[in-house]
Amino acid sequence: MTQSVSRRALLAVPALVLALAGTVAVVEAAEPIRIGAILSTTGPGAGAGIPQRNGLQLAVKLANEKGGIDGRQIQLIMEDDGSSPDVAVTKANNLIFSQKVQAIIGPTLTASTLAVGGVADPAKIPVMAFTGLGVPLEKTRRCVFHMLPSQDLNARALLEVATKALGAKKLGVLHDSAYGNIVMTKIREVSPDYPVEIVAVEKWEVGATDATTQAAKVKAAAPDAVAVIGNSATPFRNARQIRLTAPLLSALGTATYEYVKAMGDAADNIVFAEFLVAEDPLPGQAAFVEAFRKEYGVLPKTMEASAWDAFNAVAAGLAKLGADTQPGALCEAIRGPFEGAMARFDFSQEDLTGLTLKSYVFSKLDKGKFVRLPFKAGS
Amino acid sequence: MLFTQALLAGVTNGFVYALVGLGIAVIFKGSHVINAMQGELAVVGAATAVFAAAIWGLPLWLAVVAGALTGMAIAILVELGPIRALFARRAREESFLLLTVGLGFTFSAGVLYLFGREEHLLPPLGDEVYEVFGAIIREHALWVIGISAALILALRLFYRHTHLGLSMMAASIDPDGAATTGINVRAMRTATFALGGLLAALAGLLVAPLIGVGYQMGPLLTLKGFAAAILGGLSNPLGALVGGLVIGILEAMSIVFVSSGMKDAVALTLLIVIMIFVPDGILGRAGRKGG
């Protein structure tokens, strides 16, 4: 009898110690840092939203593997706005007021950025939007930062490479009725600064199944180069099918491997104004490219890199803050230069992006493969 | 030369619209249901074939058959399930339209989930490119035109001269009368949807090498196909061809002679004018008589 009691007592001691240790451990485990994300992973915006999600999830995963920020793990709360600004606002309200996130990464689309900014900026929650600065109103939202160039800059980049690298004097433009329309307006505004004449402008509607006739009209004007602006591979194919042989130019939205596959044989002799050529990365981009390839088995492009940078910019701001959690403090901590994989940003600039013509990396599609061009704009 | 190119593009597009409109006309003819998800079924058919060839490594012809059968199978399931349920409850036309619109969204989301966000291209039926008065037409486009014409002729013969075709029409025109003559009305409606689904999948398969199908394309294809079918007279498969060609050529000419920015405004305005003069559609009267 005495023996079993003492054995039980012996067992009780380590059990008690372990229980106490467990309690202490729970108390000492730091609270995770909550970061929200609103991306368009379904709907028309999914073409950009899904690569953004991939880049973001990788960035968070690697940051957590390295121990998080100040010993605290990062908890990413991912939301899909379905490419709808109304849904984006609902998600933003939930993330900011219920989930109490410290920052929001996204949205993917312009309309959602405008909507979410209206909620987040007064609450001083930083938003890292995957859009270029648009309407002047956005300049007043000092907590909404932009990871992509404005359309004005995109237009200039296209004209720079067309006139200085390709030597084009006559430019044709094929653009879609949404994104392409915006860029075309900027091209018209900016083209007087360049020695180029715009000889043909034709439009196709978003989702159109064919743009052959429009391409034929552009071909009839005999341009030296043709800018094709819009999120569809169809006009590229149509242009090549009717033997439009001039080099084609396009923006970063179409510079992805999915589009290359959809273009088929037409994926040749196309010049892009983008930011990341993973086959031949700039020194500051190599680490990201390698990490992405290791995780997903494919190479990243601009969208993946922009999301990676968005998270890391927020993380850098958080690391700077330390214990300072005043509302608006994180916005101020982010507001400054940031060396990203996509480009060097400067969120303290008036356009809340800090990208310049020099930030662009120009590439050319050569029989379906991206080749980085040595051309540098803005020099 | 620009004019010729525009004309060829317009005719090719016209046949694309006609193919989608054909399925819509067939389903309407056999069940009076307006199938607002015809375009999505076309996308599903094409995406399945691409998937079967790329992922399962099936030879192309087998992948194409798989795509066609998938479109047909989904249409059959839709009929056996929700459509039949709505008929049993004596639902009105609006309910069917709402149902097919909703199903369209569902299939579109399904295609995004299962097949991804890219545009899918199928290999064409022939790589030749022909020059006609300085304009280019691809060999595959000629195949599309030829196969569509054959399909329309086959459908005409089917509805006029085969027992199944006549029964399907009878079941639609007068279900009670058809039932008294021993026709299984419900089975005929399933057959109509099967045929419509097959035609949708064929449309997607024929068109994928030309335009590349993606998860967002369904509604636009449905809209154009619908316009083609109505313009031609909704019950008449041949009408879908006429309607499709009118729309395709009007669009192309609007681009050439007005501007690409005004294309839809011009083409659709002309469409409205045509409909005012022939409200039953261009071949509508013939369709009423079972043409």
pLDDT band of residue A12 (cuts 50, 70, 90) is low
Q: Is the preceding omega at residue A51 within 30 degrees of 0, hence cis? A: no
Interface list for chain A against chain B, based on CB atoms closer than 8 Å: 42, 44, 46-47, 50, 202-205, 207-210, 212-214, 216-217, 220, 232-234, 237, 241-243, 258, 261-262, 264
User: Cβ contact (<8 Å) for B9 and A212?
Assistant: yes
Q: What distance in Å separates the CA atoms of residue B283 and residue A150, rounded to the nearest whole number?
A: 51
A242 and B252 within 8 Å at the Cβ level: the answer is no
Q: Is pLDDT above 60 for A1?
A: no
pLDDT of B290: 46
For the cut 80, the answer to whether the pLDDT of residue A207 exceeds it is no
CB contact under 8 A, B261 and A232: no
B216 touches chain A (CB under 8 A): yes
Q: With a CB-CB cutoff of 8 Å, which residues 86-115 of chain B face chain A?
A: 109, 112
How does residue B132 score in pLDDT terms, banded at 50, 70 and 90? confident
Please give the single-letter amino acid code of residue A289. V
The yes-or-no verdict on residue B11 having pLDDT over 50 is yes
A96 pLDDT more than 70: yes
Confidence of residue A31 (pLDDT cuts 50, 70, 90): confident
Parallel, antiparallel, or unpaired: how do β-strands A33-39 and A104-105 relate?
parallel
Closest CB to B220: pick one of A42, A207, A212.
Answer: A207
pLDDT interval class at B54 (50, 70, 90): confident
* Third-level CATH fold of A33-150+282-356: Rossmann fold (3.40.50)
* pLDDT-derived band at A27, boundaries 50, 70, 90: very low
B2, B107, B117: best mutation site toward chain A, by most A Cβ within 10 Å? B117
* Record: contact A210-B12, CB cut-off 8 A: yes
Say if residue B195's pLDDT is above 70.
yes
- A151-280+360-372 adopts what CATH topology? Rossmann fold (3.40.50)
Check residues A26 and A352 and name the one with the higher pLDDT: A352
- Whether residues B119 and A202 touch (CB distance < 8 A) is answered with no
Average per-residue pLDDT for chain B: 87
Q: What is the pLDDT of residue B291?
A: 41
3-state DSSP assignment of residue B123: coil
pLDDT of residue A9 exceeding 70, the answer is no
Is the pLDDT at B268 greater than 50? The verdict is yes
Of A57, A60, A92, which Cα lies nearest the Cα of A74? A60
B13 and A207 in contact by Cβ < 8 A? no
The ipTM estimated for the assembled molecules is 0.79
Residue B91: which pLDDT band, with cuts at 50, 70 and 90?
confident
Number of CB atoms found within 10 A of residue B144's CB: 23
pLDDT at A140 over 50: yes
Residue B116: per-residue pLDDT: 78
Do the chains contact at A209 and B16, CB–CB below 8 Å? yes
- Section B140-149 average pLDDT: 91
B119 vs A280 pLDDT, higher one: A280
pLDDT given at position B131: 86
pLDDT at A227 over 90: yes
Distance from CA of B92 to the nearest CA of A (A): 30
CATH 3.40.50.2300 positions along chain A are 33-150+282-356, 151-280+360-372
